[in-house]
Structure 1
Amino acid sequence: MMRFKSARQCQHFVSTHGQIANLFLLHRKCLTATDHRQLRTHAISIWRETAGTIAT
Structure 2
Amino acid sequence: MVGNEVDQMASPIATGGAGTVLEHDFGAVLLADLLLGGPTFGLGDDVVSHM
> TM-score, normalized by length of structure 1?
0.37
Larger radius of gyration: 2
